[in-house]
Copies of this chain bind each other. A is one copy, B any other.
């Protein structure tokens, strides 16, 4: 199997196959006389494993550990579980961060009329911000056009 076939069979792009090899995530593939990489079914299994792990958002370094454990018949599932849970915690943190951003921005957008006039709570908040959530900052509602000080 050459790189194109291994790519199609594993769902990992040829570009990434070369990259993974270059960083040592996968061993150096065998070569034909002409220098073409040669893959075996076994390699494709590994690549599929890697691709699924990437689909779960796992960073390369963690995948490196998982592949090592996968190959290790003496592993303890506790090690695998720990890696998974670390990643769950990071995903969770990221989710909370993004959710907070989304909520704040959604509230601001909801408060914005979205018409032809310039008055805009979103800009007012970015300009003056400090607090959080609705009422993140008290602003005189009659204050006009929220533009930078000239």
Q: A114 and B45: CB pair below 8 A? A: no
**Given A87-B105, A105-B84, are A115 and B76 neighbors across the interface (CB < 8 Å)?**
yes
Number of chain copies forming the complex: 2
Q: A84 and B53: CB pair below 8 A? A: no
Q: B148 and A112: CB pair below 8 A? A: no
A118 within 8 A of B: yes
Q: A49 and B101: CB pair below 8 A? A: no
**Given A42-B148, A149-B42, are A56 and B88 neighbors across the interface (CB < 8 Å)?**
no
Q: A57 and B112: CB pair below 8 A? A: no
Q: Point out the residues of chain B lying under 8 angstroms from A126, CB to CB.
A: 49, 52-53, 56, 66, 70
A123 within 8 A of B: yes
Q: B102 and A95: CB pair below 8 A? A: yes
Q: Point out the residues of chain B lying under 8 angstroms from A22, CB to CB.
A: none
A68 smallest CB distance to B (angstroms): 11
**Given A78-B114, A109-B85, A148-B46, are A101 and B57 neighbors across the interface (CB < 8 Å)?**
yes
Q: A118 and B77: CB pair below 8 A? A: yes
CA distance A75 to B119 in the complex (A): 9
Chain B residue at smallest Cβ distance from A78: B114
**Residues of A that sit less than 8 Å from B by CB:** 41-42, 45-46, 48-49, 52-53, 55-57, 66, 69-78, 80-82, 84-85, 87-88, 91-92, 94-95, 98-99, 101-102, 104-106, 108-109, 112-120, 122-123, 125-127, 129, 145-150
